[in-house]
A and B are shown apart, each in its own frame.
Chain A
Amino acid sequence: MDMQNIENQITELKSQMAALDKKAAENKLSMVVFSGELDKIIAAFVIATGAVAMGMDAVMFFTFWGTPVLRDAKKSVGGKDAFGKMFGAMLPKGMGKVKLSKMNMGGMGTAMMKSLMKKKNVASLEQMLAMAEELEVQIFVCEMSMDLMGFKREEMVDYKNLTYCGVAKFLEEAANSKVQLFI
């Protein structure tokens, strides 16, 4: 009788443990990249690649001003309406065109920062993107931002783990992540 009772309790505990296990956050970093400026994009990639080094999975969601940064400078697409053309022309086309959020000084500040980065061996944004790809950092791009700004998938960078998504995908990842950041 008693043994049966204990066995029942163990079975119940096991199923409770399994349920808790499902709820537990994964060792993952989910990051929203909202900004499209050099300094903030650097910070985002340093943290994402560092997370992988720390044994975490890293997921980056590019939205709003972060979206144009993922365009490929070498690609161009036609067939955009007036607004799409305007956004396309006014926002940085790719990693090489992003500016500092402070002290840009008509581009002088950004140029100075880039030469300093080179001197101090800090990876360029292009190198950081390549490193993120190698480390299997997953990138999601906000479909609404793409649509609002008139960007087309054909003009985005080639990146192995790049997917288009909406807010639900970000929330699913964020809810399952130990660390969430907004940059």
Chain B
Amino acid sequence: MNDDIKVDKVFDLKGLPCPMPVVKVSKGIKEVEVGQVIEAQSTDPGSLTDFPAWARTSGNEILKTEHDGDVIKFFIKRNA
């Protein structure tokens, strides 16, 4: 399904409510190099607006958002 995007690290944020998904992803993105991609899996519907807001503010890029049942998968490239 994601054979077009190479994921370097996966973060399981399922079941975590606000503000944890954004707190964890902001720390997690620093665990990969600039240019690498993380996959963040969230079940918090608020993430759909929060992740793009975080990405715009932090200067990182959401390559793709995918829904898999209740799980929302964000593919985020570290740019900053």
Within 8 A of A (CB), among B55-79: 57-58
Task: Report yes or no: B23 in contact with A49, Cβ–Cβ below 8 A.
Answer: yes
Interface hub of B17, B19, B25, B26 (most chain A Cβ within 10 A):
B19
What distance in Å separates the Cβ of B49 from its nearest Cβ neighbour in chain A? 13
Whether B10 sits at the interface, judged by CB under 8 Å, is no
Whether A53 sits at the interface, judged by CB under 8 Å, is yes
User: Which A residues touch B27, using CB under 8 A?
Assistant: 53
Indicate whether A49 sits within 8 Å of B17 (C-beta atoms), given known contacts A54-B54, A55-B58.
Answer: no
The contact of A53 among B16, B17, B23, by CB within 8 Å, is B23
Which of the segments A99-107, A119-127, A162-170 contacts the partner chain?
Answer: A119-127
Task: Report yes or no: B23 in contact with A52, Cβ–Cβ below 8 A.
Answer: yes
What distance in Å separates the Cβ of B51 from its nearest Cβ neighbour in chain A? 11
User: Which A residues touch B58, using CB under 8 A?
Assistant: 54-55
Indicate whether A54 sits within 8 Å of B57 (C-beta atoms), given known contacts A49-B23, A131-B23, A135-B23.
Answer: yes
Whether A46 sits at the interface, judged by CB under 8 Å, is yes
Q: CB-CB contacts of B7-21 with A at 8 A, as 1s and 0s?
A: 000000001111110
Q: Number of residues in A with C-beta < 8 Å to the partner?
A: 14
Interface hub of A50, A123, A131 (most chain B Cβ within 10 A):
A50
Interface hub of B23, B26, B53 (most chain A Cβ within 10 A):
B23
User: Which B residues touch A53, using CB under 8 A?
Assistant: 19, 22-23, 25-27, 54
User: Which B residues touch A52, using CB under 8 A?
Assistant: 23, 26
Interface hub of A46, A53, A122 (most chain B Cβ within 10 A):
A53
How far does the alpha carbon of A46 sit from the alpha carbon of B22 in the complex, in Å?
11
Shortest 5 CB-CB distances between A and B: which pairs?
A50-B19, A53-B26, A53-B22, A53-B23, A46-B19
